């Protein structure tokens, strides 16, 4: 079975072709970086317009790279939510229309489900059940994954997502866009123990996250130094901030695994590309004798391959969309 997958939840237009759940034949991503960089963040209206311009060329490129004709596609999978409504509408509406024209099924996929299953794109995948940390610009959540379609949320952010906090700190320090990768790169040259930024552990048994207080602590620290006329130790600020975020992400994920008596941990989402997070999670999992699965960075950031994979299992369960089905901005998986 050949699956054409489409992802347009935010600012990347992506398409992929998969053969069943085993082989990624193509995985194409068109970035809007140059469009949004001058604004220091994503402009939703511009993102939607760029998706409209890119969606058909990207799909054609994915088909060509896979050496597959459109008539050979058996099912189309598209991100239905969560994300920016305008962006989602472009990809999801395109997918529904194309499926109608081709007279083939269309399945709507939750973006979070794609991230939760992304580790299966690198063979072999984890065994069930496993605990998964999905961390990105819009999400920071911990799930218990029972099978390819059963996800139980164990904890989530109460305010800023981790990736969002990275971007805000980058903007505060005038480091550029996108902020997360820049902060991580600069942090490699800093001392993560130089500044004692707070960790929000919340209630004793809570697996939720909160990064707004940490963000405020960084703002106050920077403003204090500026008022004193001191030079900003940008490398140390980035390293100490990153350490505070990663420390909480790793510790709560391990707690979730221990509490649920599960010895397999999975990372997903754009921030899962962060080197410090990957290394610390490996260290903790090794210490606990847990198995750890982390997708390659190309499958951590937004991509259509993970949507196609989730689409395969949705198709197997007969979960097809109807022409009047709509997109959604918030994931029901929370």
Per-residue pLDDT of 259-299, as tens digits, reads: 999 999 999 999 999 999 999 999 999 999 999 999 999 99
Confidence of residue 37 (pLDDT cuts 50, 70, 90): confident
Query: In angstroms, rounded to a whole number, what is the distance separating the alpha carbons of residues 3 and 155?
Result: 32
Structure token pair of residue 237: 């600020």
**Residue 114: its H or E element:** helix 111-117
- The answer to the question of residue 244 being in a domain is yes
- Do residues 108 and 13 both lie within one domain? yes
* CB neighbour class for 280 (10 Å; exposed up to 12, middle 13-18, buried from 19): middle
63 close to 308: Cβ distance less than 8 angstroms? no
Query: In angstroms, rounded to a whole number, what is the distance separating the alpha carbons of residues 161 and 232?
Result: 25
- Average pLDDT over the chain reads 96
Structural domain for 22, as ranges: 2-116+300-316
Neighbours of 67 (CB within 10 A): 10
**What is the DSSP-derived secondary structure letter of residue 176?**
-
Query: In angstroms, rounded to a whole number, what is the distance separating the alpha carbons of residues 252 and 205?
Result: 10
**What is the DSSP-derived secondary structure letter of residue 273?**
G
- Do residues 154 and 191 both lie within one domain? yes
- The answer to the question of residue 148 being in a domain is yes
Confidence of residue 303 (pLDDT cuts 50, 70, 90): very high
- Do residues 194 and 279 both lie within one domain? yes
Residue 192 has pLDDT above 90, yes or no: yes
Residue 52 has pLDDT above 80, yes or no: yes
308 close to 4: Cβ distance less than 8 angstroms? yes
- Do residues 192 and 257 both lie within one domain? yes
- Do residues 104 and 129 both lie within one domain? no
Whose CA is closest to 108, among 295, 302, 317? 317
- Do residues 6 and 143 both lie within one domain? no
Helices then strands, counting H and E runs in the chain, come out as: 11, 10
Contact residues for 46 (Cβ-Cβ < 8 A; gap 6+): 32, 35, 36
- Do residues 264 and 305 both lie within one domain? no
Beta bridge partners of 15: 6, 28
3-state secondary structure of 134: strand
Residue 40, pLDDT score: 84
3-state secondary structure of 58: helix
Query: In angstroms, rounded to a whole number, what is the distance separating the alpha carbons of residues 119 and 81?
Result: 20
Alpha helices in 151-265 (DSSP H): 162-172, 179-187, 212-227, 234-259
Using a pLDDT cut of 90, give the percent of the chain over it: 92
- Do residues 45 and 24 both lie within one domain? yes
- Do residues 287 and 308 both lie within one domain? no
- The answer to the question of residue 25 being in a domain is yes
- The answer to the question of residue 89 being in a domain is yes
Q: Number of structural domains, the chain?
A: 2
146 close to 320: Cβ distance less than 8 angstroms? no
Q: What CATH number has the domain bearing residue 171?
A: 3.30.420.40
- pTM: predicted TM-score of the whole model, two decimal places: 0.95
Alpha-carbon distances, residue 333 vs 112, 191, 225, 257 (angstroms)? 8, 37, 42, 19
pLDDT tens digits, 218-261: 999 999 999 999 999 999 999 999 999 999 999 999 999 999 99
- Do residues 289 and 162 both lie within one domain? yes
Residue range 45-54: mean pLDDT, rounded: 97
**Residue 204: its H or E element:** none
Confidence of residue 162 (pLDDT cuts 50, 70, 90): very high
- Do residues 149 and 9 both lie within one domain? no
- The answer to the question of residue 235 being in a domain is yes
- Do residues 288 and 162 both lie within one domain? yes
Residue 31, pLDDT score: 94
If one compares 203 and 153, the residue with the highest pLDDT of the two is: 153
pLDDT tens digits, 201-222: 998 899 999 999 999 999 999 9
Whose CA is closest to 65, among 10, 23, 111? 23
């Amino acid at each position: 079975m050949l699956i054409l997958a489409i992802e347009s939840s935010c600012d990347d237009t992506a398409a992929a072709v998969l053969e069943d759940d085993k082989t990624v034949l193509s995985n194409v991503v068109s970035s809007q970086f140059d469009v949004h960089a001058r604004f220091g963040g994503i402009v939703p209206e511009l993102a939607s317009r760029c998706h409209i311009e890119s969606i058909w060329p990207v799909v054609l490129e994915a088909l060509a790279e896979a050496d597959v004709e459109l008539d050979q596609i058996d099912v189309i999978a598209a991100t239905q939510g969560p994300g920016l409504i305008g962006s989602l509408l472009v990809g999801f509406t395109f997918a529904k229309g194309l499926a109608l024209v081709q007279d083939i099924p269309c399945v709507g996929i939750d973006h979070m489900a794609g991230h939760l299953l992304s580790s299966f794109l690198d063979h072999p995948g984890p065994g069930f059940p496993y605990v998964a940390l999905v961390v990105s610009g819009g999400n920071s959540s911990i799930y218990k994954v029972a099978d390819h379609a059963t996800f139980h949320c164990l904890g989530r952010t109460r305010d800023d997502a981790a990736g969002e906090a990275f971007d805000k700190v980058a903007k505060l320090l005038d480091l550029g866009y996108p902020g997360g990768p820049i902060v991580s790169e600069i942090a490699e040259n800093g001392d993560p123990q130089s500044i004692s930024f707070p960790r929000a552990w919340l209630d004793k048994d809570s697996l939720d996250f909160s990064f707004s207080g940490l963000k405020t602590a960084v703002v106050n620290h920077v403003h204090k130094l500026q008022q004193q006329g001191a030079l900003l130790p940008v490398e140390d600020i980035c390293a100490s901030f990153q350490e505070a975020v990663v420390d909480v992400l790793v510790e709560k994920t391990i707690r979730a695994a221990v509490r649920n008596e599960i010895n397999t941990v999975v990372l997903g989402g754009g921030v899962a590309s962060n080197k410090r997070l990957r290394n610390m999670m490996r260290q903790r999992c090794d210490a606990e004798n847990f198995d750890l699965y982390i997708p390659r960075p190309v499958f951590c950031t937004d991509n259509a391959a993970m949507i196609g994979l989730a689409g395969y299992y949705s198709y197997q369960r007969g979960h097809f969309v109807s022409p009047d089905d709509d997109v959604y901005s918030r994931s029901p998986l929370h």
